[in-house]
Structure 1
Amino acid sequence: MPPPPAVPPRTVRAVDLRVGKRLLWVGAAAYPLQNITRVYTFTMTPRRKEATLRFLKRTALILSVAFALTIVAGLTAIADGSMAGGILTFVWIGAVAALVFSIVDLFSVLSAPAQYVLAVETSGPSIAMVTSADPHQLDRLVAPIVQAIENPEAEFHVEVEQLLVNPSNYYFGDNVNMYGGTGNVGMGKS
């Protein structure tokens, strides 16, 4: 078995990736080697289009509700002969706060970089992802992990970077088109 890649210099976000006693450790998480179904590298890209569409939908909804409440408050004030200033102030402060939240959410996705990651999938719903400043290090880690799955005596230890991202902001894994079934997105047979 070839030796695993050299250990990179320690970084602030370093995490241990090691194999020993039939377990793959990613930081403090342990994955039994016999439960690992796939080990691969890929580039995880931010969902910029979806974030922009979500922002536009939120903005349209927020402004529609704010304008509708403004019109209702104005008509009510005209009918009663009273002032609706307090309610309108509350409505527009809430609308501005919601717009600020939407803008922050949009820019958090738009400014997110693409991440080259090593992913380890298990036979259950678990997935472990790590990254490195050196993408080639991740590519070189796939073979030692696979060999450790096949060889119960294999052991190694490297340091990689911990992946700190919001998975809902990224595309990752394979894209699969499913036909038929219940609740799947795709084209159905007629």
Structure 2
Amino acid sequence: MATAQHPGLPDNAPPLPARPPAPPGTVDLRVTRRLLWVGRAAYPLQNIARVHTSTLQPRRKQAVIRFLRNVALTLAVAFGLTIVGGATSLSSEGAATGIITFVWLGTLAALILYVVQLLSVLAATPLHVLSVETSGPSHALVTSPDPHHLDQLVGRISHAIENPGAEFQVTVESIMVNPRSYYFGDNVNMYGGTGNVGMAS
């Protein structure tokens, strides 16, 4: 049977069996050779400090406050530029009218963007997540609509930590999780900027 060596394994390590790629939109979550793999990211089991489940709640209150603040600031700037444009219209009426039109078209586009951002958070649903925290800065986040499935994964990862010979694999779907839209709590840190990718079973 064909074999493949995963990048990062020593040259003298026995080759891994060839694996078909995960279907589009999914990622493999597996434990093998004392490593927890989330897609192509590897976490040594001995470095895992905590595995736990929690529920991420959408930041609806903050989204409303941010929306109102952005709208107020944008309208204040638009009205200010309109007043300035009106004052300069005495010398060049055509140019001032063009500037004012451009300002309000930009304001309208910004207001539409703010509404879309607000609705995306208001329509967001709570996410059940499994967090894998290491002794270093690395962090993995897995989400699922079924909290019982996440509890089972916690049990399987914990079993693998305690039993060196344990191995398992599940395939999970990948989704986009925007950290600005959810409360992550005091003990959950997202690394790598906004638009982080989580996994849902």
Distance 1:81 1:153, change over 3 A: closer
Gaps of 5+ in 2: 1-21, 189-201
Contact 1:20 1:154 in 2 (8 A): yes
Which of 49, 56, 59 is residue 47 of structure 1 equivalent to? 59
Structure 1 residue corresponding to 2:27, chosen from 15, 28, 31: 15
Match of 2:173 among 142, 161, 166: 161
**Paired position in structure 1 for 2:106:** 94
1:96 deviates by: 0.8
- What is the match of residue 34 of structure 1? 46
Determine the structure 2 residue equivalent to 1:132: 144
> TM-score normalised to the size of structure 1?
0.79
User: In 2, distance between residues paired with 1:175 and 1:53?
Assistant: 24
- Does the 8 A contact of 1:19 with 1:148 survive in 2? yes
Q: Which has the higher contact order (CA 8 A, sep 6+)?
A: 1
Q: Structure 1's 175 and 129: CA in aligned 2 closer, same or farther, altered over 3 A? A: closer
Distance (Å, rounded) in 2 between the aligned partners of 1:127 and 1:161: 18
Q: Indicate the residue corresponding to 2:157 in structure 1.
A: 145
SS at match of 2:102: helix
Contact 2:55 2:128 in 1 (8 A): yes
**Residues 89 and 97 in structure 2, CA contact (< 8 A), matched pair in contact too:** no
Q: 1:121 — aligned with what?
A: 133
TM-score of the two chains, using structure 2 as the length reference: 0.75
Kept in 2: contact 1:11–1:161 (CA 8 A): no
1:111 and 2:85 correspond:
no
Partner of 2:192: none
Aligned-pair identity in percent equals 61
Residue 139 of structure 1 and its aligned partner are, at CA, apart by: 0.8
The answer (yes or no) to whether the contact 1:130–1:163 under 8 Å persists in 2 is no
Select between 128-137 and 42-51 the one with higher mean Cα deviation: 128-137
> What residue in structure 2 maps to residue 5 of structure 1?
none
Alignment RMSD, CA only? 2.2
| 1:3 alignment counterpart | none
Partner residue, 1:4: none
Equivalent residue, structure 1, for 2:89: 77
User: Contact 2:127–2:145 at 8 Å: present in 1 too?
Assistant: no
* 2:68 paired with 1:56: yes
Q: Number of matched residues?
A: 166
Segments of 5+ residues of structure 1 without an aligned counterpart are 1-9, 177-190
* Comparing 122-131 and 112-121, the one that deviates more: 122-131
Q: Is the 8 A contact 1:39 1:121 kept in 2?
A: yes
Match of 2:183 among 162, 171, 182: 171
SS of the aligned residue for 1:61 comes to helix
SS at 2:124 equivalent: coil
SS at match of 1:112: coil
